[in-house]
Amino acid sequence: MTLLLTILLAVLPMPGTRFQQLPPGPGKAEVEAACYQCHAADLLAQQRLTEKQWTASVEKMVRWGANVPERDKSAIVTYLARHYGPGNRFVPVKTATLK
Amino acid sequence: MDRRTFLAAAAAAALAPVAAFAAPERHLLQMGGYPLNAETPLELLTDYLTPNDLFFVRSHWIPRMPDPKTWRLDVNGKQLSLADLRKLPRAEATCVLMCAGNGRALHEPVLPGVQWRYGAVGNARWSGVRVRDVLARAGVGKGAKHLHLFGSDDPPGKVPPFHRSIEMEKALDDCILAFEMNGKPLPLQHGAPLRLVVPGWAGDHWMKWVVRMTSSDEPQKGFFMDTAYRWPLQPGAPGVSFKPEEMKPVTELFVKSNITTAPKQTRKGVIADIRGFAFSGAPDIARVEVSDDGGATWQRALLDNRHAPNAWRLWHLRWTPKRTGRITLLARATDSRGAVQPRSATWNQSGYLYNAWHSVDVEVTA
């Protein structure tokens, strides 16, 4: 909760920031728990990676301290590869300019 | 607002559907909500000086909020306040800042990371003080080979901090510690109160939120020096990766031009206004050319006369389509050292310095 508050406080002053939602499906809760520690959904949603590349990315983030239970890893990789695989098309959200 | 109300409001803001907000005409493209990463829509990059509110934002992590009264820059243990810095001779540079990863999304095969397309670049007037004057003020001798830089954005846990170093030769040559951007106080998202300006070099060197500098004979260590922001000594075929020791740090920008303005539809024989910008790690741009026949022939664009070393050149071309159908316009720049923008960019494993010919399609009717 402290980390969440820190992140919200850090982000809220930026007037243009908009938050996206991840699509529903198996693995969504595990992805949110793992990735939202340091990233917003849009960083995930813009990727177009193979399952092999997603596995490498998740492993890298675990090395960097992401708190990911071993049992959640395959659900996370499967979800990310299914929604944000090579065929993914990402359209960035238009945000207000930053004064 | 009590804590519960605050959390409810924050949650409501987080859950609000994106489509409910009307997108403003003048906008940024959000590539990451936190830490904040956003690029400028290419069609809005038409000014010689990119306005501060439109300038792309690249953040590795979230900085501490600076208090100007207590803020100090630590230089080899010597503490300098903002007032101390402002007593030094004022220095200014108008030059391009481009994220090393600008265009990463255009590389094939696809790479992980922020999927920048065209707009992680801008040109601004940076004002502050010379690094060499700051080092002299702090009593740092000129012997050391590297200058290590630390910002206030250290991340939590085991995430590697964005600690960097730059060769002292470059730092002493033309680098500036800036506290103003386009004549206004440097905005927080651009590194307030102090950021490094490294003319002609990629944005990874332009440390934001600088709080500490130390001189050393060795380069900085860590992920963002030893693994990231490196370029192959001898680039291979697309998809071929190299070990860190087979690579060198990314430094100078490659010659690059983009088309910012072209009609989506026009008519054969009618003059159309084609505009764009061009820049390089070399001090200036020698020419920009546009092709409407796949690169067989090129028409020379007119360069705007506004310029400074490592600033971009705006350019324009009065183009008359001579046939109907879909015509692809290509732009390529040549810099003052003779380097020519290539048809294809050099693929590299982190997706840096994309600079292939930029293309725009125009529908031409009779």
Interface predicted TM-score of the whole assembly (ipTM), two decimals: 0.88
Kindly report the pTM of this predicted structure. 0.91
> Does any CB of chain A come closer than 8 Å to the CB of residue B280?
no
Query: What pLDDT does residue B186 have?
Result: 97
Query: What pLDDT does residue B12 have?
Result: 38
**Chain A closest-CA separation from residue B188 CA (Å):** 10
CB contact under 8 A, B34 and A47: no
Reported as a pLDDT band with limits 50, 70 and 90, residue A17 is low
Q: Looking at per-residue confidence, does A8 or B67 come out higher?
A: B67
Reported as a pLDDT band with limits 50, 70 and 90, residue A99 is confident
In chain B, positions 172-231, which contact chain A (CB-CB < 8 Å)? 187, 189
Picking from A8, A41, A49, the nearest residue to B110 by CB comes out as A49
Average pLDDT over residues A76-85: 98
Reported as a pLDDT band with limits 50, 70 and 90, residue A8 is very low
CB contact under 8 A, A39 and B32: yes
**Chain A closest-CA separation from residue B118 CA (Å):** 13
The superfamily (CATH) of domain B52-249 is Oxidoreductase, molybdopterin-binding domain (3.90.420.10)
Reported as a pLDDT band with limits 50, 70 and 90, residue A5 is very low
Query: What pLDDT does residue B66 have?
Result: 86
CB contact under 8 A, B189 and A98: yes
Nearest CA in chain B to A56: B112
Q: Based on the number of CB atoms within 10 Å of its own CB, is B130 exposed (0-12), middle (13-18) or buried (19 or more)? A: buried
Query: What pLDDT does residue B11 have?
Result: 39
Residue-range domains of chain A with CATH: 23-91 (1.10.760)
Of A5-14, A22-31, A86-95, B310-319, give the lowest mean pLDDT range. A5-14
Domain locations along chain B = 52-249, 256-365
Residues of chain B below pLDDT 50: 1-24
B256-365, CATH topology level: Immunoglobulin-like (2.60.40)
**Chain B closest-CA separation from residue A36 CA (Å):** 9
CB contact under 8 A, A98 and B24: no
> Does any CB of chain A come closer than 8 Å to the CB of residue B156?
yes
Q: In 10 A of CB B350, how many CB atoms? A: 20
CB contact under 8 A, A86 and B110: yes
